[in-house]
Amino acid sequence: MGQLSRFWRESEHRYRLLGSKCGNCGTVYFPPREVCPTCHRDSIGKMKDIELSGDGVIESFTVVHEAPPRFSRQRPYILALIKTEEGPMLTGQIVDADPDEVEIGKKVHAVFRRMGEDGESGVIVYGYKFVLD
Amino acid sequence: MELSNDVYIIGAGETKFGELWDKSLRDLAVEAGLEAIKDANIYSKDLQMLYASNSLAGTINEQSNIAALAADFSGIAENHVPAVRVEASTASGGAAVREAYLAIKSGEYDVVMVGGVEKMTDIYGTEIIDVQSSILDREWESFNGATPAAMAAIAARRYMHDFNVEREAISMVAVNDHANASLNPDAQYRNKITVDQVLNSDPVAEPLNVFDCSPITDGASAIILASEGFVKKNRIDGVRILSSAMAEDYLALHSRKSIYTLESTKIATEEALKKAGIKREDVSFLELNDSYSIYGLLELEDMGFAEKGKAKDLVYDDIKLNGRLPVNPSGGLKAKGNPLGATGVSQFFEAYLQLKGKAGQRQVKDARYALLHNMAGTGATSVVHVVGE
Ligand SMILES: [Zn+2]
């Protein structure tokens, strides 16, 4: 259970922090969307990929002690909502930091990390995590 | 068949909630269902439709087709009563009652059963946390290590930070649930707890501890709904469902405008009260979806009983069983238990008892109107009903 969907391994959006920008109202979304929740059909076909800088601010965070099996070796880990420079908020781990150093409002930037693998010797999946600036 | 204006609850049943190792998914569903039928003084074959509420049996018990299973083992397979499962994650129960309500309102049926069931202990160890995390956005939340508790904790930390709310106030929601559950023989936990016990329990996702989180629960609840015509014809003294409302929001918490505002709850509550034609001060008690203690406060605010950041003024006294606004006389999700698919239906079981004056030691004085709130995930779906005399 909790295995990584094959489709997700192919997600360049995760690897490159690719969001989408509405060509109608200019709002940036991450995760990417096919349709803008503000402009609806006026945005169809106008959503353009946009690469986020990876810079953001900690909106809130938690230290997770009870975790699913895939994360049990990382316990306790810091999970946060990051408000990115471009606007959208995303969920990600903060790594290479002591929980005592983490605070609401502190600046972070994205790093490229291993997220897990399929089985013992399976395909490795990568993605974003965050470190304190 | 005449077009029905009003929908009534005419019977209700439920199993004990808890870690019921000796009972299977089907045992629980049948036990609650038959009790409701007996209570309504009807026969199984009188049912014209069955809605089965369940959230995760496909994964936890590796059993799909829950509605057929429930109908079959209730002994009505040869009556060929139509049955369908309603799944709206942890709001499945409320959503299933809403479907039944709409079906009777439409004039299609006169007598309908809603049965909710979840058998959560059929899975071992921390696997259940992974399964529960499927109620979030798996690809963009759970993939990164998010769990329902973690997301509630993230909302709690920011809420405490922005409104200067003490950790103690959040604990009071759990303390109140346990106090009420001590009077409910069906509840999973009947022990009273203190604020200190909540604060000193093991951390799950900081700042939330074990005693801030609803438990892993097995259980089932069932209610029988009937049309106005059926109730009048048979001279039944039922409890009326005055209104039903449901609203959605972004699935992932990070997509919401505010991480501690349950917009779906706000909208569904407003609509439910308006359709019922009652005001907040008319509400005799609330059953809230406090799967994590923090949600108790957020829900009180978003349902309009306190301004944002001010629910702390209600949780010490007002929400008590004999307070100004009793919350969760049943014991709530924390102490009565949270068998996902059954939870929303069990709120109706409680309302039915309370409004008929049959809630025993936990009876709310002069109960006239109940406001029932069932929620999925971190607020992606909210279902709100007004039930009254
Ligand atoms: Zn737009």
pTM for this entry: 0.96
Q: Rounded to an integer, what distance in angstroms lies between the CA atom of residue B218 and that of residue B125?
A: 15
Q: Do A68 and B129 touch (CB under 8 A)?
A: yes
Any chain A CB within 8 A of the CB of B59?
yes
Question: For residue B111, what is the enclosing H or E element?
Answer: strand B111-119
B259 chain-A contacts, CB cut-off 8 A? 59-60, 81
**pLDDT per residue as tens digits for the range A48-104:** 999 999 999 999 999 999 999 999 999 999 999 999 999 999 999 999 999 999 999
**What pLDDT is attached to residue A13?**
81
**Residue B315 tokens, joined:** 């949780």
**What pLDDT is attached to residue A124?**
81
Q: Do B206 and A62 touch (CB under 8 A)?
A: yes
**pLDDT per residue as tens digits for the range A103-125:** 999 999 999 998 877 666 677 88
- Counting one residue from A and one from B, how many pairs have CB atoms under 8 Å apart? 114
Nearest to A91 among B127, B146, B158 (CB): B146
Cβ(A90)–Cβ(A108) below 8 Å: no
Other C-beta atoms closer than 10 Å to the C-beta of B302 total 26
Show Cβ contacts of residue B354 under 8 Å, excluding neighbours closer than 6 positions.
B284, B285, B329, B363, B364, B367, B370
Q: Do A1 and B130 touch (CB under 8 A)?
A: yes
- 3-class DSSP assignment, residue A100: helix
pLDDT by residue for chain B (389 residues), tens only, comes to 455 589 999 999 999 999 999 999 999 999 999 999 999 999 998 999 999 999 999 999 999 999 999 999 998 999 999 999 999 999 999 999 999 999 999 999 999 999 999 999 999 889 999 999 999 999 999 999 999 999 999 999 999 999 999 999 999 999 999 999 999 999 999 999 999 999 999 999 999 999 999 999 999 999 999 999 999 999 999 999 999 999 999 999 999 999 999 999 999 999 999 999 999 999 999 999 999 999 999 999 999 999 999 999 999 999 999 999 999 999 999 999 999 999 999 999 999 999 999 999 999 999 999 999 999 999 999 999 999 97
**Model ipTM?**
0.95
Q: How far is the CA of A19 from the centre of ligand 1 (A)?
A: 13
Q: Do A69 and B125 touch (CB under 8 A)?
A: yes
Sign of CA dihedral B99, B103, B105, B106: positive
